[in-house]
Amino acid sequence: MNKIKNIGVLTSGGDSPGMNAAIRAVVRAGIYHEVEVTGFIRGYEGLINNDFVNMDRKSVANIIQRGGTILKTARSEAFNTVEGRKKAYDNLKANHVDALVVIGGDGTFRGASVFSKEYDFPIIGLPGTIDNDLEGTDFTIGYDSALNTVVDAVDKIRDTAESHDRLFVVEVMGRDSGLIALRSGIGVGAEAIMIPEANMDVDDILHKLDHSRQDKSSKIIVIAEGDEAGGAFAVAEVLQKKYPQYDTKVSVLGHIQRGGKPTCMDRVLASRFGVAAVEGLLNGERGAMVGQINREIVFTPFDHATKHIDAEKVSSTWLKLIDILSF
Amino acid sequence: MNKIKNIGVLTSGGDSPGMNAAIRAVVRAGIYHEVEVTGFIRGYEGLINNDFVNMDRKSVANIIQRGGTILKTARSEAFNTVEGRKKAYDNLKANHVDALVVIGGDGTFRGASVFSKEYDFPIIGLPGTIDNDLEGTDFTIGYDSALNTVVDAVDKIRDTAESHDRLFVVEVMGRDSGLIALRSGIGVGAEAIMIPEANMDVDDILHKLDHSRQDKSSKIIVIAEGDEAGGAFAVAEVLQKKYPQYDTKVSVLGHIQRGGKPTCMDRVLASRFGVAAVEGLLNGERGAMVGQINREIVFTPFDHATKHIDAEKVSSTWLKLIDILSF
Amino acid sequence: MNKIKNIGVLTSGGDSPGMNAAIRAVVRAGIYHEVEVTGFIRGYEGLINNDFVNMDRKSVANIIQRGGTILKTARSEAFNTVEGRKKAYDNLKANHVDALVVIGGDGTFRGASVFSKEYDFPIIGLPGTIDNDLEGTDFTIGYDSALNTVVDAVDKIRDTAESHDRLFVVEVMGRDSGLIALRSGIGVGAEAIMIPEANMDVDDILHKLDHSRQDKSSKIIVIAEGDEAGGAFAVAEVLQKKYPQYDTKVSVLGHIQRGGKPTCMDRVLASRFGVAAVEGLLNGERGAMVGQINREIVFTPFDHATKHIDAEKVSSTWLKLIDILSF
Amino acid sequence: MNKIKNIGVLTSGGDSPGMNAAIRAVVRAGIYHEVEVTGFIRGYEGLINNDFVNMDRKSVANIIQRGGTILKTARSEAFNTVEGRKKAYDNLKANHVDALVVIGGDGTFRGASVFSKEYDFPIIGLPGTIDNDLEGTDFTIGYDSALNTVVDAVDKIRDTAESHDRLFVVEVMGRDSGLIALRSGIGVGAEAIMIPEANMDVDDILHKLDHSRQDKSSKIIVIAEGDEAGGAFAVAEVLQKKYPQYDTKVSVLGHIQRGGKPTCMDRVLASRFGVAAVEGLLNGERGAMVGQINREIVFTPFDHATKHIDAEKVSSTWLKLIDILSF
C-alpha cells in the first residue's frame, strides 16, 4: 500500500447540520498530517464531472457553525452505472487523489461500497444524516440538531395549542426510521407518537388518548412521515371525528429539520469523525464507516453499516416511557 | 360617569406572541392605579360562562417571556347573538366589573364594538394579532415575533436549498394580508414573493425568476396563504415544470408562526399598550383600540380600526425593493 | 455634477448585526442602477491602504443573515490626519470611485463629514450601530438585534434567579446612551434600570426596590455600562449590603451583544437604507446620513446626525413605564 | 421493607436546565405506579422547614421546556448539622414521606449519603448539574444545554472578533472541571483552551498561538473559570502584550450558562432518569445515583458518584483534537 498523499472529500445524499464541521475536520486533519485535500462538488456528481476545489486551512475557516454543506450535495444516478464510476475513477487518478472521505447516509455508503471494491480504492464514510438510522454508530451527524429543531418548533406549537385547547398532529422526518419522532416526542412531552417500527394504527392512538388525562388543555401527537397510518392529515381526520371537543390541526415540519446551525454535540461528533477518518485512512482503514459506540471510535464495514437497525427493541423501551410521562 | 373600580381583561381570536406581556401590563397598571383586575378565560366565552380569575400582581409574574396566553383564547359564536351578549353583560354586572380590555384582532373588535354600544359599556381594545392588518397602529402585538419565526425557519430552509440547488416555495400566514410575506420576504432575501394585495399570478413569478440571476444555487419564493394563485403546492407545480433544473419543494410554515417567545419589540409594545389601555379607560376613553402611530399612543374607534388597510400603496414600495435586492 | 459610475462601500467603527444586509443592499442597488460597487476593507483603513474588492451580485449572496461584516471594520487614527485623508482621496481617484457609502456610527460620520467637505466628495452614511444614539433616524441597524440578544440572555438569567431567589445586576452596552438598557429593561421585566441620562444613583434603586413587591423571588436590575454609579459591581456591592436576604450576583453581557444573526427588522431596515443610499447618491444627495423617521426615508446632514439625542425627555416616559410594570 | 407510598422530590445546589423535566418525570412515574409525590421547596431547606406541595399530574404540566426549577433550589447549611437532619427526618415522618428523589450535584449527594445512612432512609439521586463532573453517568442533566448556550454565545463573539481581527478570551463555567471548556472549545472552533485538569500555563497558550495560522483574522481562547492561570483577565493581559497586533478582549459568560430551555437531549435524559429513579426506589434501590453509561441505566452508590472523575486521561484526547482542528 502506497502512502496516501491526497484525500478527496465530498458530501452526498440529503444534507444534515454538521456536514461543514466534518469537512473542516477532514481538511484540517489532512493538512496536519501533511496530506493534500481535494473537495468534490455535489457528491459523486463532482467526481464524475471532475468538479473540485483544492482545500486549504482557510477554505474551511468559520464554517463549523454553518448549516448545509459548502461542497454542496446531490443524489447521483450516474454513479449507479458502471460508466459513471469509471469516469469518477479516471478523474480521481488524473487528479492524483488516492483516497476518499464520503459524508452521507446509507445510499452514499452503498455507492462507496461498490466503488471501493470495483477499483480497490480506499474510502472511509462519515455518517451524515439526520435520521440516525445506521448500524455502527450511536449517533449520526445532524440527528441531535434535527431533534432540537423539532423540539423548538413543537414548543411553539404547544404555546398556541395550550391557548386554544387544540390537538395537534405534528409530522416529523424519518421515512424508514421513527427515531426522530421517538426522541423528539419525549422531548416535547407528546401525548402519543406513531412510528413505522411500532406497527401502530390510529386505534392505538385513540386508545392512548382515551386513557390519558381528560383535563389536558392540549394534546400533541408526533408522527414519523413514513408511518403506515397514512400521513398526518389522515390521522388528524380520524382524531377530529373521535374528539370533537378538540380543534384538531396538522403541522408538517418539513425541510426546516435539515437546516440550521449544528448543535455543540453535532459539531464535536463531526470534528471527531473527520479527524478519525483521515487518521483511519492513513492507518490502512478502508471500505468502512467511522462511528462512535459507547464513546469510542469504531470502524464498521459499509455493508454492515447500511443494514437498517432493528428499532423494535429500542423503541419498546421508549414507547413505554412516553406512556408513563403522558399518563 | 362613575369611577372605574374593576377592569376585566381577556384575549380573543387567534393567539399571538406578546399577549401575556399585554395581560401583565393591564394587571400591573390596574393595581398601580388602584383598580381591581378580573381575567376572563377563553375570550368572550369566559364572559358568557362566567369563567374568570381575580388577578393580582403575582398572577402575572414571570409571564412576559411566554408565548400563548395564560387566559386562553377562543372564537365565540355565542357572543355574536343577542342572548350571548346579554349573559355576558349580566355576568359583568354581577361581578362588579365596570370596564373591559379586550386583546385580539378585527373579529374581537367587531364584537367589542357591538357590545359596547348595546350596553354603553367602556371597552378598550389592544391589537393582538400576528397579521398587522389593523388601521390605527403601525404595529400589532405579535407581528414582529412572527416575522422573526418565519425568518429563522427560512434561514434553515436556505441552508438546505443552497446545498441542493433547490427552489423552495414557502407559505406563510396572512389570509387577507400579505404583510408577513412582504417583510419576511425581504428579511430572508427571497427571490420573489406573492401576496393577495398585489394581484400577481404565477406568470409574474416566472417573469421575475427569468430576470433574476441564473447562476443562483437556490431560489426562495415566499407566498402568503391567502394569495389567489391557489396555494404553495399549485405554484410549485407550475414552477417545477418551467424550471426542471431546480428541484422544487414546498414548505408550509403553519402554526409555529403563532407561538414562541415574543421579541423585545413585541414585549415593549404590549407593555406600553397595556398601561395605555388602563390609563385610557380611567381617562374616559372607550369604544376604541389603542395603537402606536409614529411612536405616539393613539386611540382609534373600533369601527375604523377594523377596516382593512389599503396595502396596495404600501406594498408597491416593498415589492420594488425585493426586485432590486434579488436582482 | 458628473454621473456617478462607481460607488465605494465600507463599514467602520464597532460592528453591528445587519451590516452585511446593508452591504448587500448597496451592492445590489448599485448593480440594478448600473453602477459599479467597490468594497473597502477595514473601514477608512481600506481607503488609506488601498485595500479593496470589486463587488458583484454573487459576492453578497447568502450574507443577509450573517452577523459581523464581510468587509471588516476598524477605527482609523490615520483618517483623522490630513495626510491619511489625502491618501484615501488619491486611492479613490486612482480606482475611479466617485462616491462613498459609509456604514457606522457617529465617529464614522464625523470622519465622513470632514472628508466630504475637504474634497467635495459625495458620501452618504448608513446608521450601523447597536446604540441607536443618532439624530435623524428612529432606529439604527443592529439596535433591534442587540435588544433581542440582551432579552434572550436575561431570560436565561431570570430562570436561575427565580430558582435561587437572587438579585441580579445585569450590565448592558451603551456608553453614552441608555436606550439599550431602557428597552431591554422593559422587555425582560426588570425591577429597575439605571441609565446615564437619568442621573440616578444607587439610592434611587434602593428606593425603588423598597417599594416593589417584597414577595418577589427574584429581582433584576439592568444597568447601562456608561452609568455614573460606577459599574455593575459597585452597584451590586451596595445592594448586597442593603438586601442581605437576596444573594446578589453580577452579569456583564459584553460582546455577545454585537454579534449574532440580525433580526427581521434589522434586515429590512438595512435593506431599505442600502437601496436608499445608492438612489440618494444618484439623485444628488451627499454629506448626509440616510435614516427612517415615522417610516419615511429621510436624509440628515452629518453634522446634525452626530449630535447626541436628548434622551432625557424620551426616557422619563419609559422609566415611568418600568415603575408601573414592576409595581 | 415496607412498600413505598409517598416519594418526596427536591432540587438542590446550583440549578441546571432540565431539572423541571426531571421533576415532571418523577411525578408522572410516581402517579403511574400509584405512589404519591411530595415536592419540597428550596432543596434540603424545604425538608427542614417543612415547606412542601403535593404534586399531581397537572402540577408538572407544560414545564418540560422551562429552565430553572419550579421547586426552587438552595444550598443548605442546616442540613450539614445533626439538628437540621433530625428536623428533616421528623418532617418526612410526619408527612408520611417514605423515600426521596434528590436532584443535584456532588454536594447534594454527599448530604443525601449522610442522611440515608443516619436514618436508614431510601434516597435516589438524579445528576442535575451543568458540570458533568460525576462518576456513574456519561452525562448529567444540564450539561448539553449549557454547552449549547456557550456555543451560541461564542458564535456571536466570533462574528465581532472576525470583523475586528480580535483575540477573545472567553471564560466559561467549571470550577473543578474543564469539561464545559473542552467540549464547547471544540464546538466553537477555539484556537486553544485552558482547563484545570491540563496544568497549562499561559506560555502553553502562547506556544500554541505561535504555531497556529498567523493569517487568521480572529482567535478565540476558551478558559474554564477554575483554571489556575488566574482568570480570563490575567491571561488576556499577557496575550495582549505578546500579540499587540490583536485587540484582545475578555468575555465572562457567567450565569446565562445555567438558564434557558433545556435541549432535547437533556429533556430525554431527565425524563428517563426521573422514571428510573422512581422505579428503582420501588425495586429496592437506595443510597445511589441513577445514571446512564453506554446508554444503559445504572445505579452508582453516592460515595462513588461524588468522587471527582479523572479528567486527565479524557482530556488528552480532546486537547489533541483541538490542536489538530486549530492547526
Residue type, A149: T
Which of residues C259 and B242 earns the better pLDDT score?
Answer: C259
Q: Is B256 annotated as ligand-binding?
A: yes
Q: One fold for both C6-142+262-307 and C146-258?
A: yes
Say which of C42, C73, C255 has its CB closest to residue D157. C255
pLDDT at D148: 98
At D260-270, the pLDDT tens digits run: 999 999 999 99
Q: Kindly tell me if the per-residue pLDDT of A229 is higher than 70.
A: no
Region of D136 on the Ramachandran plot (φ > 0 left; ψ -120 to 50 alpha; else beta): left
- For residue A296, the cross-strand partners are A293
Q: Provide the CATH number for the domain formed by D144-258 in this structure.
A: 3.40.50.460
What value does the mean pLDDT of chain A take?
92
Q: What are the chain D neighbours of C258 within 8 Å (beta carbons)?
A: 156, 159-160
pLDDT at B2: 65
CA C252 – CA A59 distance, rounded (Å): 34
Say which of B186, B216, B324 has its CB closest to residue C268. B186
User: Which three cell numbers mark C236?
Assistant: 451590586
A175 C-beta neighbours (distance < 10 Å), count:
12
Residues 6+ apart with CB under 8 A from B25: B270, B271, B272, B273, B274, B275, B278, C324, C325
At B61-114, the pLDDT tens digits run: 999 999 999 999 999 999 999 999 999 999 999 999 999 999 999 999 999 999
pLDDT at D154: 97
Q: Kindly tell me if the per-residue pLDDT of D242 is higher than 70.
A: yes
Which of residues C206 and B134 earns the better pLDDT score?
Answer: B134
Average pLDDT over residues D263-278: 98
At D119-164, the pLDDT tens digits run: 999 999 999 999 998 999 999 999 999 999 999 999 999 999 999 9
What value does the mean pLDDT of chain B take?
92
pLDDT at B147: 98
Q: Rounded to a whole number, what is the distance in Å from the CA of D247 to chain C's nearest CA?
A: 11
CA D98 – CA B278 distance, rounded (Å): 51
Q: What are the chain C neighbours of D74 within 8 Å (beta carbons)?
A: 164-165
- Judged by CB atoms closer than 8 Å, whether chains meet at B160 and A259 is answered as yes
Instruction: Look at domain D6-142+262-307 and name its CATH class.
Output: alpha beta
Best probe of the B interface among A256, A261, A263, by most B CBs < 10 A, is A256
Best probe of the C interface among D245, D256, D257, D261, by most C CBs < 10 A, is D256
Determine which helix (DSSP H) or strand (DSSP E) holds A238, and give its type and residue range. helix A231-242
Average pLDDT over residues B194-217: 76
Say which of B25, B148, B323 has its CB closest to residue C263. B148
Q: Rounded to a whole number, what is the distance in Å from the CA of A274 to chain D's nearest CA?
A: 10
Strand stretches in chain C, DSSP E: 6-11, 36-40, 52-55, 99-104, 123-127, 166-172, 192-194, 219-224, 247-252, 288-293, 296-301
For B191, B322, C58, C64, the CA distances from B326, given in Å and listed in that order, are 5, 6, 11, 12
Handedness of CA C272, C277, C283, C286 (dihedral sign): positive
- Judged by CB atoms closer than 8 Å, whether chains meet at A157 and B259 is answered as yes
pLDDT at B213: 62
Determine which helix (DSSP H) or strand (DSSP E) holds B155, and give its type and residue range. helix B143-164
pLDDT at A312: 53
Q: Which of D280, B288, D318, B150 is nearest to C265 (CA)?
A: B150
Q: Could you say which of C131, C133, C144, C266 is catalytic? A: C131
Q: What are the chain C neighbours of D255 within 8 Å (beta carbons)?
A: 156-157, 160, 168, 249, 251
Average pLDDT over residues A118-139: 96
For the question of an ipTM over 0.90, the answer is yes
pLDDT at C247: 84
Residue B294: Cβ-neighbour burial (10 angstroms; 0-12, 13-18, 19+): exposed
Q: Which of A50-59, B199-208, C117-126, D99-108 has the lowest mean pLDDT?
A: B199-208
* Ranges of each domain in chain C: 6-142+262-307, 146-258
Q: Rounded to a whole number, what is the distance in Å from the CA of C170 to chain D's nearest CA?
A: 10
- Judged by CB atoms closer than 8 Å, whether chains meet at D264 and A155 is answered as no
pLDDT at B313: 56
Residues 6+ apart with CB under 8 A from A109: A102, A125, A134, A289, A302, A305, A306
A131 counts as catalytic:
yes
pLDDT at B102: 98
Q: Provide the CATH number for the domain formed by A143-258 in this structure.
A: 3.40.50.460
Q: Rounded to a whole number, what is the distance in Å from the CA of C131 to chain B's nearest CA?
A: 15
Which of residues D201 and C142 earns the better pLDDT score?
Answer: C142
Question: Counting one residue from C and one from D, how many pairs have CB atoms under 8 Å apart?
Answer: 105
3-state secondary structure of B2: coil
At A12-48, the pLDDT tens digits run: 999 999 999 999 999 999 999 999 999 999 999 999 9
Q: Which of D24, D269, D315, D284 is nearest to D127 (CA)?
A: D269
Q: Kindly tell me if the per-residue pLDDT of A270 is higher than 90.
A: yes
Q: What are the chain D neighbours of A326 within 8 Å (beta carbons)?
A: 28
Chain B contact partners (≥3 CB pairs within 8 A): A, C
Q: What are the chain D neighbours of C147 within 8 Å (beta carbons)?
A: none
Summarize chain D as % helix, strand, coil (round to 5).
45, 20, 35
CA B143 – CA B146 distance, rounded (Å): 5
CA A247 – CA B72 distance, rounded (Å): 14
What does chain B come to in residues?
327
Known binding residues of C for ATP are: 14, 75-76, 105-108
Region of D318 on the Ramachandran plot (φ > 0 left; ψ -120 to 50 alpha; else beta): alpha
Q: Which of A7-21, B215-229, D5-19, D100-114 has the lowest mean pLDDT?
A: B215-229
Give the pLDDT band of residue C227 (cuts 50, 70, 90). low
What proportion of chain B, given as a percentage, has pLDDT over 70?
Answer: 94
For A25, A36, B239, C36, the CA distances from A32, given in Å and listed in that order, are 10, 10, 47, 41
Q: Which of B164, B174, D268 is nearest to A144 (CA)?
A: D268
Give the pLDDT band of residue D306 (cuts 50, 70, 90). confident
Q: Could you say which of D15, D51, D120, D131 is catalytic? A: D131
What fold does the segment set C146-258 form as a domain? Rossmann fold (3.40.50)
What value does the mean pLDDT of chain C take?
92
Q: Which of A114-118, B88-92, D238-242 has the lowest mean pLDDT?
A: D238-242
Give the pLDDT band of residue B207 (cuts 50, 70, 90). confident
Q: What are the chain D neighbours of C249 within 8 Å (beta carbons)?
A: 255
Residue pair D41/D52 in contact (Cβ under 8 Å)? The answer is yes
